[in-house]
Amino acid sequence: MKAPGLYLLVGCGLFACKDKPKSDPVAPPPPPPSDASKWSVEHHAIPVDAAPPPEGDWAVCKAALEKAVTAPPTKRIEMIIDACHPCGEWKPILDWQTLQEDGGPNRKVIDSTMAGCKAWCTPNAKVRFMGALDDARASKTRTPWRELAQQCGEEVSARPDGRFLNAPYFALDRIARWAATQPDGAKVLEPIIIPLPAVTQTGVGVKLPDSAVTKPDVVPVQITITPAGITVGAMPVAKLAANGVLPQGEPYPGTSVTVKQLAAAVKKLGGTKAAIFAHPNLPALAVLDAIGAAGVPVVLAVTSSMGPPGWAQHGIAPIELRVSKPTAGGVDLALDDTGNAAMVEVKKLGAELAKRSISINVDKKATVASLATLLGALAYFEVLSVNVNPAGKPK
């Protein structure tokens, strides 16, 4: 039996890390924190002899922007970046973290492409970005973009802070500013909503579990559960305008709440559905109270491979979770830390599962990861909702 058309099999890839060839122009190394005052002076520019890339094709870009309005949310940014090239090819910027010997761009190409997109708001912005580049490529951090956000702020849409700024976000910023100058550009941009990564001010979000079946959807309200407690807020999204990318609403992760306050907080946000963000290693029992107290249908957020390099989007396991009394004659699945026994039962029942009421009985060893794995298997057989309850709860 095939998976529903809307669902995507999730995959991922990692770039290898090696030393950079010594033949490229070398920028000054990033300063240690104790030397920050000395590093604030401007340094000589890194020489570049490549001409700025050509401007893009508005007709092609406009068509993509118009299509993005109704496209699946997680596909929008890639669709726009693929079609809109106001300052040339994006690949050298999007692949900035891939080392040259692994097929990535060299320093000169990255500098040239960034310069062609007018990234350097000041000479010092260039020095800070390029100075942090080599170490960041090796360690896979986004330090150069944090440096650019600090130096340029509003000029690169680093608002309310630099949490979102990375290569795809920079491309989106340049596309929005350019598109707004084109015929009907501002009108075309106005209805587009772009989902943003669910990250804190440091640019880091909750690691999410994997699921074999993921729906490329964005739920309006997120409930984040950690060992420290529960927070709730609107999912981060952005509008596009003449002054770049405009994040909307309260920054992630939102407001801290108790279980008793959760339903009121979700209602205040106007949510009709909520997604739970939780680390794979968190006990699955930790999310049950939130599922029962949210007051709206709840789904589990899972990893997604969609989007350009560096754009950490999420999808959802497309099964509604509820805490309610199991239906007589339904299917009971026992969930532990591995989920193996439950998976054997799912495979045995197959398509029959879609016709039955499903109850997942969560024991104290079960994790969010094992729950996500089981939900992916059930979604493959077109199960739309399940009961989740602690193991041993009276029926």
- The pLDDT, as a whole number, for residue 393 is 63
The rounded distance, in Å, linking the Cα atoms of 176 and 166 is: 15
- The pLDDT, as a whole number, for residue 313 is 83
Sheet with strand 244-248: strands edge to edge: 194-195, 237-241, 244-248
- In 110-264 the beta strands, taken as DSSP E runs, fall at 194-195, 221-226, 229-234, 237-241, 244-248, 255-257
Q: How large a percentage of the chain has pLDDT more than 70?
A: 85
The rounded distance, in Å, linking the Cα atoms of 332 and 361 is: 7
- Buried/exposed 8-32: b ≥16 CB within 10 Å, e otherwise: bebeeeeeeeeebeeebeebeebee
The rounded distance, in Å, linking the Cα atoms of 394 and 272 is: 30
Helix axes 107-116 and 123-139, enclosed angle (nearest 10): 140
Residues contacting 75, CB < 8 A, separation 6+: 216, 306
pLDDT digits (tens, 9 = 90+) for 134-156: 999 988 899 999 999 999 999 99
Q: CB 141: neighbour CB atoms within 10 A?
A: 14
pLDDT digits (tens, 9 = 90+) for 329-356: 789 999 999 889 999 999 999 999 999 9
Cis peptide before 253 (omega within 30 of 0): yes
- The pLDDT, as a whole number, for residue 306 is 79
- Evaluate if residue 319 carries a pLDDT over 60: yes
Half-sphere exposure of 215 (CA within 13 A, CB side): 19
- The pLDDT, as a whole number, for residue 304 is 85
Mean pLDDT score of the chain, rounded to an integer?
A: 85
| CA nearest to 107, candidates 6, 23, 24, 179 | 24
pLDDT digits (tens, 9 = 90+) for 20-41: 333 344 444 444 333 333 222 2
The rounded distance, in Å, linking the Cα atoms of 140 and 133 is: 10
| CA nearest to 230, candidates 287, 271, 284 | 287
For the chain, domain boundaries: 54-195, 221-390
pLDDT digits (tens, 9 = 90+) for 189-235: 999 999 999 998 888 889 999 999 988 888 899 999 999 999 999 99
